[in-house]
Amino acid sequence: YNSTKEKAIKNINFNIKGNTMTAFVGHSGAGKSTIINLLPRFYDPEKGSVLLDGMNLRDLSLHDVRDAVALVPQKPFLFDLDVEKNIELGKSKYTEATINEVCQLAYADEFINEFEQGYQERLGEKGSRLSGGQLQRLALARAFFKNSPLLVLDEATSALDAENEDKIHEAMAQLIKGKTTLLIAHRFSSLKLASRILVMDKGRIIADGPHDEVYKNCDLYRTLYDQQSEGLS
């Protein structure tokens, strides 16, 4: 970053297989979001390259790259439009389901149907009329609607209570089918969906493998995991 001249990520080199979920774990500032944000080309690497099916992302149009990526951020952004129009913003060439279907899949229809105007209810600037959990469920519904082959989840359950988190994990299990998924995990309960975990520390990958292997061999991961487990017990 320019403010510190410190490299956000260093000596990063890895491949991700299609139709798998890979989770990124580490302290805040470890470089997880930096890596994730390279995929939709929010910025390009100063050195090296990011390849998609062997093609450099720089050689693909920005429209095609972003059409192929569905992003569910930790803090979703919604416009002062009605529910239907906010979901429609996610439309892509991969879209197949209806708005009602995707809202049911994301368990968002439960609160939408309580609105006086249902799917035509305006949500306020930045979705100000919604709770954090409702915002996240609508963001998941938009990702369902977009149906892109690449899915990026930046802790899509962080604002949910335990009951709704379980529901959303069920929804996510459906959403990731047939997709290549990258997950930034803050709540480790999300890791049960991941087949591979990359542990990051100070811009580097310090462990790579399935949960049992990483838990056994990586002190940082074991400490973070055990702290959360103790907090939930």
Of 19, 23, 8, whose CA–CA distance to 199 is shortest?
23
Tens place of pLDDT per residue across the chain (233 aa): 565 677 888 889 999 999 999 999 999 889 998 999 999 999 898 889 999 999 999 999 999 999 999 988 877 888 888 999 999 988 999 999 999 999 998 888 989 999 888 999 888 777 777 877 788 888 889 999 999 999 998 876 665 666 667 777 777 888 888 899 999 987 787 788 899 999 999 999 999 999 999 999 999 999 999 987 765 54
Q: What is the DSSP letter of 120?
A: G
pLDDT at position 162 is: 65
Please give the structure tokens belonging to residue 14.
């890895």
Q: Which residues contact 116 (CB under 8 A, 6 or more apart)?
A: none
What b/e sequence results for 87-119 when a residue is b if at least 16 CB atoms lie within 10 Å of its CB, and e otherwise? beebeeeebeeebeebbbbbbbbebbeeeeeeb
pLDDT at position 25 is: 94
Q: What is the DSSP letter of 198?
A: E
Secondary structure (3-state) at 206: strand
Secondary structure (3-state) at 71: strand
- Cα–Cα distances (Å) from 220 to 5, 193, 199, 205, in that order, read 26, 21, 8, 12
pLDDT at position 200 is: 95
Neighbours of 138 (CB within 10 A): 24
pLDDT at position 233 is: 46
How many helical (H) and strand (E) elements, i.e. helices and strands, does the chain have? 9, 8
Residue 181, φ and ψ in degrees, nearest 5: -120, 135
Q: Are strands 196-201 and 55-56 parallel, antiparallel or unpaired?
A: unpaired
> What type of residue is 91?
K
